[in-house]
Amino acid sequence: MSARCQHRPFWVLFYAVTAFMVAPTDAAAKSSREDDVRIGRCIKAAARGRPWLEQTLWGLRDQEAGWLGAEITNSNGTHDLGPLQINSWWVPRFARMLGREERHIRHWLRYDPCFNAEAARWIFLAALEQTGDYWKAVGVYHSPTPWRQRRYALLVAGHMRERFNRR
């Protein structure tokens, strides 16, 4: 099956919005272990039974090291949001795709682990479709700059090797 058939961008995010439109819990009210379990379930769900994709999302999550409620300011004025640190640059695009207000998208990216994981899935699979190269797509998830892509891909590979004991 082609990457295009696998990622169906609108439906992936539409599913995430409609399936997880519950009010998020206050990040401070849950222990970080409970949050990690929730994030893990969402990564598994976003992978749709594809082990390679689940491992990729875990590699991205381990590298990004975000948390529920995270909003990290970048030097260029954007913010990295939630567990998989989705750049706020994506917020207007997702808002247009889903017909939702940007403030809602931003909130879901920060506080809804499943919406965040679905967004990460979409970004990665779109990059994979665009580049046709797995490690290039991992790098594109992080940056449009080639040297940053290469560095990031190596870091993610290290996290995947550590988590899944692959050499």
The answer as to whether 1 is a domain residue is no
The answer as to whether 139 is a domain residue is no
CA distance 21 to 118: 13
The answer as to whether 71 is a domain residue is yes
The answer as to whether 107 is a domain residue is yes
pTM for the full predicted model: 0.81
**122-158: buried (b, 16+ CB within 10 Å) or exposed (e) per residue?**
bbbbbbbbebeeeebbbbbbbeeeeeebeebbebbee
The answer as to whether 166 is a domain residue is no
Q: Which residue range(s) make up the domain with 52?
A: 9-126
The answer as to whether 14 is a domain residue is yes
Q: How confident is the model at residue 37 (pLDDT cuts 50, 70, 90)?
A: very high
Which of 78, 112, 119, 114 lies closest to 98, judged by CA?
Answer: 119
The answer as to whether 31 is a domain residue is yes
Q: How many domains does the chain have?
A: 1
Q: How confident is the model at residue 18 (pLDDT cuts 50, 70, 90)?
A: very low
The answer as to whether 143 is a domain residue is no
Task: Identify the three-state secondary structure at position 2.
Answer: coil
Q: How confident is the model at residue 32 (pLDDT cuts 50, 70, 90)?
A: confident
